[in-house]
Amino acid sequence: MNVLRDDKELANELVQCCDYSLFRARTAFFNRSLDIHGRLAEAERWMHEFMRCKRDLDELVRKKEEHDKLVQLVEVMKERGIDIAVIVRKSDGQ
């Protein structure tokens, strides 16, 4: 999975959350002990949970993509002979 190393454990938990939520939504939809409205409401509740987990997972992926872009920018600057340490110090007011 394309997330930062420090985010891998959380990402795995979120994948499991997505999987479980989809399972529960499908189970609720086919639950014959509830009327159709009850089944749909329960399935929808689990779909909202799936979307929450997916949104958090998407954010971790976006964070990694942003990190990769910054790493690439630093490499380009180094290739051009630009010392980013000087830029960082100047932006900090030194």
Model pLDDT, residue 24? 98
For 11, half-sphere exposure in the C-beta direction (CA atoms, 13 angstrom radius) is 15
Domains held by the chain: number: 1
Per-residue confidence (pLDDT) for residue 91, from 0 to 100: 64
User: What is the per-residue burial (b if ≥16 Cβ within 10 Å, else e) of 21-43?
Assistant: bbebbeebbeeeeeeeeebeebb
Q: What is the pLDDT of residue 83?
A: 80
Range of the domain at 42: 5-91
- pLDDT one digit per residue (tens) for the chain, 94 residues: 899 999 999 999 999 999 999 999 999 999 988 899 999 999 999 999 999 999 999 999 999 999 999 999 989 998 998 887 766 666 666 5
